[in-house]
Each structure stands twice: as structure tokens, then as C-alpha cells.
A and B are shown apart, each in its own frame.
Chain A
Amino acid sequence: MSAEEILTVKGLKKYFKTTRGIVKAVDDVSFSVMKNETVGLVGESGSGKSTVGHVVMGIYGPTAGSITFMGNDISMGVGRRPKELKKRLQIVFQDPASSLNPRRTIGQILELPLRVHHLAPEGKYAERVFEMMDLIELPREFAVRYPGEQGGGEKQAVAIGRALATRPSFIVLDEPTSALDVSIQAKIINMLMRFQKEFDLSYLFITHNLSLMRNVAQRVGIMYLGKIVEMAGTPEFFSNPLHPYTKMLLSAVPVITREEEALKPEKITSTGEIAGALNVPPGCSFHPRCPFVMDICSKVVPSQIEYKKEHYVACHLYPST
């Protein structure tokens, strides 16, 4: 099994020091991604899902824990990672309007990663850029245009093209479609799914949209205040959710068909708001919002157990014995 694992994260922690105390953005997160697999991370804002993606990318180094990528240890910031590995690991950000340099043309944006990694002989760069543009279905004349002139869908396509330019094997997708309209979202997602097959890619897909997750990921993890509270294969996850928070999230998803309505778990009315990461509640961090709260919940942090095969949950409702 481990031969297929492309990325393994173990006990990952990322704390930030602030003037008001320590923010535990990511607190003991472990998961792995297999070759050609899409693993989804879902959670509300402030749950730490993007921080996980950023630490995997090396945007900042982890406070503790290890990240293994294709057999190499990459538990450090990007500055100390070998260049050869950096090429294999890419990211697409949420908002293409701010992740693309407005003063570079689309051609220049797509050319930069090729130049950094010397991926074409001198004089052949323009040709490679055009090939990239064919791939992301942009007309070639767009190479001389600026990202600001384009629609959100085209801009995100450029961001994806830039990530693909170095022929990576792993891409972190940090809410790649939440800034886009649904009709454009569908196009971008289809493009990503096609590239995954074509180029043998593995994805870490970060989003807050559960309906989208149902359709793209093979496994889904739910994050709450820096911890993964439930993780399972997608069909199992949606047909048999265990954690009260998962049920609350699923109940809150707006749906449009009767079949979807039927799939929702018993309605758990959403109450309260996610706590600030500065003062995480003691015990299970979800207990102030939980409708099934017990005495133990405010005292002991629940440990993650394998409730069923490949279905992990961290909640006192599911004791380990």
C-alpha cells in the first residue's frame, strides 16, 4: 500500500505566535494521498484547511510533524527544499485575480515556471507556452493579453496552466472554484479531472463546498479548529456520516433535488459559530455547538479511532472499545 502513497502527513502542527497568544492553526493532523487520488479537505473558514495546504507546499515550515513526498522528507519551508522536488509539487489558489501578477501578460506568467526549471531549450519557450495554452483551451492570441482583461474562468485556467507547466505529480487546489460562478466552476472542475487522468496527478482539494466534494474526491476529511474530526471514503462519508459536526454541515448544504434532500442525515440545526483559534474550547473543540454534548466532552480531547474500515472519527459518541 505504502508504495502507492505519494504524500504522507503525520502529526502535522502549525502554530503562529501573535501578540495575543499562540494560534494553533493546525493541530495534529495526519493523512495520506495515494497516487492518482483526490483527497478533499472540508471545513468552515478558520478551520485550518488552507494552512494544511500551505504547509504541504512549504509556504511556511511546520511547527512539528512530518511530511513525506514521494519518499523524501519535506518537513521544511520551501527555501530549504530541493528544487527537483519543488517542481513536482504545485498549488492553485482561490482567487485568480490576486494570484496572477496583473502587470505580466498571460504568456509571461506561463513562461516563468518553465524558465525557473529550465524546461525548454532557449528559443523554444514561446512554443511551449502556446502548447500550454492549447491545453487550457485559451486562444493563442491571449498570450499577449493581461489577466485583468479576462473573466474569472479564464484567469483560473491560466493559474492551472502555470501549475501544470512544470509537469508536477501533486497539486494542492486551494478552493480553486469558490470565486467562480457555477457554470464556470463546472468547466474548471472538468478540466482538472481531465488533467488528473492525462498527467497522473494527485490532488489535495480544499473547499467548503460539500456538494462539489462529493463529485471530485475519493476520500474526504472534515476539519474543525485545526483538527481532522472525521475522514472516510467519499461514498461511505456521505451515506453514513458519524461526527455531529459532519451531520450539521450536511444538513446546512442547500440542495435542489428531492434525491439530495433524502440523502441528508437527520436534520441537525446549525447553532453557534466556530470559535476563534486563539481560545479553542477545552476538550473536544466542537462541544459548545454540539447537540449531543456530554460531560466528558468539555474535559477530554477525543482521540481518532477507526470506527469502520477506513472510516476515522474523533468523537466521544463513538468510544474506541
Chain B
Amino acid sequence: MAEQLLEVNDLCVNYKVYEGLLRVLNGVSLSVGSKEKVGIIGESGCGKTTTMKAVMRILATNAIVPNGTIAYKGSDLLKLGRQELMRLHRTSMSMIFQDPTAALNPVFKVGEQLKDIVRYSEFTSNAPNRQEVRTKAVELLKSAALPEPERILDSYPFQLSGGMRQRICIAMSLASAKDLLIADEPGTSLDVTIEDQIMRLLKQIVEDRGLSVILISHSIGAVKGFVTKLYVMYAGTMIEEAPTDELFSNPVHPYTQNLLKAVPKLTGGGVPEGIAGRIPSYLTIGDGCRFASRCRSAKESCHVHAPPAFDIGNGHRVACFHYGDI
């Protein structure tokens, strides 16, 4: 087994709110190797983004991490001091967010925002020269396949289209992502043709630079051509993990099976059944399998005990007591 770049182990995250404690993440584990492309899929509200925010250490202030470790390049991210954390953000890991409109500050020109990041991450030792910073910023925009980088540096975000804004966010993250890039639904808010362009660009950049990637998406088709290993999340738990081809050809968890069936196919054949019900409330969630209330094959014991992840070979792991009989 290759050296892992990132290893999240048994991570739990709770949020303290007025009504009580939201138990969101419960025992999440995942690992990303060097230059590995990993995907996480799941429906809205299942904790994909929360997991990544925990990795970046940018959780909201009311979040509590009672349990778990996040090993990154040999150190535990959860125990790092502010200085070291900032250093990692500057020089090693970065995140692209879902909505580029919200990720860019509307009152500053793209150039000012981008140059700030360049100054911060590229020139840590000696005092940066303005011309150097600008050249580097232009270079970054070019690597994100943006035409007329000089004009873009002098534009405000609202003067650009959604696809261009997302390319700028990619350029920004490239300034500091030397090892790990986290992409949180990078194409979801864009049109299908633009999403296709963005995903191809990302893939090319990641392969050229030899980065590790975690790609988050609820669009199952979009991750398929991109990643080599897939995690499926449901209600704050990792329910299945497998190499991409294995997961699509042999889904084992009842939730994964239903999720794959629910995607309408280009070949027709009618609209499949969905999954009845919805994600349980994190406020009142019990100790049993979190999918049990929507699962057709749930037995009584499913509601009492949470299933551990069973290893079924080929790097395929599933958290379900009845994975064999479904």
C-alpha cells in the first residue's frame, strides 16, 4: 500500500445549536494517496462538505470534534497550531467551492484578490516584487485556460460569466495547492456544457501537476470519469468505498444500489423509482444504521446497532449488516 497523503480516521463532528446537539458526522474514515483521485458522492445534507471543512479546519465556530484524527503528511491536522495550519493552507492544500459567485469578493477586482493569494503563498521569504506577482497571477489565469488574463485581472467578478468565475477560483487554488486539491461540487452551479469544460480542465491540471484530489459531487455521472476511488456518504456516515469501476458494476449497499438506479438514463427505459423518505434529523438521530428508516431490507437489529465497515475484497468496503443477501 502506497504512502497515504491524507488519512481521516473515525471522525465525528457535532454542531451545537439552540435546539441541542446536531450529530452530523459519525465515524467517517477516508484515505487519499499521493496523486490519487478520490470522489465522494451523496445527497445534499449528508455531510460531504462538513467532512472537507473539517479537513481544511474551516468548520463553523459552533462545531465540536469529539473524536477522530486527520493525519496529513504525518501530522495530525486537528492538533496543529494556527501558524502551521496557515503554512499548510499557503503551500500545500486548497479548496474550490461550489458557488464561485459567493467565493469571490464582489467589491474587489479579480486581480487584487488573486495577487493577494499569490503574494501570500508564493513569496513567503523575500519581499515580493510587484511585477513578479503580476506575472505569476497572469500565469495562473493562463493555466486555468482563461483568455485575455490582463483584462480579467482588471475586472470585477460580476463582469464575468459563471464559468469564468469558476476558472478564477481554480486559478486561485492552484497558487497554494501543491499537494492536495479539494473540489467541492465545482460544476454543479454551471450549465452542462460549461461543467464539462471545467471538469476537463481540472482533470488536465491535476494530472499535469501531479496533485491529489478529493472531488465532491452529487452528480454521479460527473465523478465517474474523473476519480479512481469512490466513497458514498449517507447521513454523516461512509457507507461504501470501492474503486470506481467496481462501485458502478457491483454496488453492494442498498442505498448505493437505489441511488444508482434513480439516475435517469440517456438510453431511456422510463423513470426509475426513487428512495422514499429523507435523511433523518441529525438532532434526534439514533445509534443504529442511519439508513435503516428508508431501507427495505432493514431488520430490527439495524435500528439498534450501527454496522461497521466490512471488507469484501478488491478494496471494496461496505457498512451494512446484510450486504450479502441484498
Contact = CB atoms under 8 A, between A and B. Distances in A.
Interface in B193-226: 193-197, 200, 218-222, 224-225
Contacts of B258: 183
A16 B49 CA distance: 40
Interface string A250-281: 11111111011001100001110110000000
A253 to B, nearest CB: 6
A256 B220 CA distance: 7
Given A252-B193, A252-B195, A209 B264 contact: yes
B265 A251 contact: no
B193 A249 contact: yes
Interface residues of A, number: 45
A256 B221 contact: yes
Q: Which of A181, A208, A264 has the most CB of B within 10 A?
A: A181
A62 B262 CA distance: 38
Nearest to B219: A254
Contacts of A234: 268
A11 interface: no
Interface string A127-170: 00000000000000000000000010100000000000000000
Contacts, number: 129
A56 B273 CA distance: 31
Contacts of A256: 220-221, 224, 248, 260, 263, 265
B276 interface: yes
Contacts of B269: 215
Contacts of B219: 254
Interface in B133-190: 161, 163-164
A172 interface: no
A252 B192 contact: yes
A104 interface: no
A108 B263 CA distance: 34
A271 B197 contact: yes
A253 B271 CA distance: 17
Contact of A238 (B194, B268, B272): B268
Interface of A: 44-45, 151, 153, 181-190, 193, 208-212, 214-216, 234-235, 238, 248-257, 259-260, 263-264, 269-271, 273-274
Nearest to A193: B271
B266 interface: yes
Given A187-B276, A215-B264, A270-B197, A182 B259 contact: yes
B308 interface: no
A184 B276 CA distance: 8
Contact of B221 (A190, A248, A253, A274): A253
B273 A254 contact: no
Interface residues of B, number: 40
Given A215-B270, A254-B222, A273-B161, A186 B262 contact: yes
Contacts of B218: 181-182
B275 interface: yes
Given A187-B276, A274-B191, 16 more contacts: A184-B278, A185-B264, A189-B271, A190-B273, A193-B271, A210-B266, A211-B265, A214-B268, A215-B271, A238-B266, A253-B221, A254-B195, A256-B260, A259-B265, A259-B267, A270-B194
Contacts of B221: 253-256
Contacts of A273: 161, 163-164, 194
Nearest to A182: B262
Contacts of B191: 44-45, 208, 274
A254 B224 contact: yes
B43 interface: yes
A213 B118 CA distance: 44
A211 B271 contact: no
B198 to A, nearest CB: 10
Contacts of B43: 181-183
Nearest to A212: B264
B44 interface: yes
B274 interface: yes
A152 B20 CA distance: 23
Contacts of B271: 186, 189-190, 193, 212, 215-216
20 contacts: A44-B191, A44-B194, A181-B43, A182-B218, A182-B220, A183-B259, A185-B274, A186-B273, A188-B274, A210-B192, A214-B265, A214-B267, A215-B268, A234-B268, A254-B196, A254-B220, A254-B222, A256-B224, A256-B263, A270-B196
Contacts of B267: 214, 257, 259-260, 263
Contacts of A249: 192-193
A260 B266 contact: yes
A183 B197 CA distance: 26
A264 B262 contact: no
Contact of B265 (A189, A216, A260, A271): A260
A251 B191 CA distance: 13
Contacts of A259: 265, 267
Contacts of B260: 256
Contacts of B225: 254
Contacts of A212: 264, 271
A270 B273 CA distance: 32
B264 A184 contact: no
Nearest to B275: A183
Contacts of B273: 186-187, 190
Q: Which of B268, B273, B274, B278 has the most CB of A within 10 A?
A: B274
Given A182-B218, A274-B191, A211 B196 contact: no
B288 to A, nearest CB: 20
A270 B201 CA distance: 12
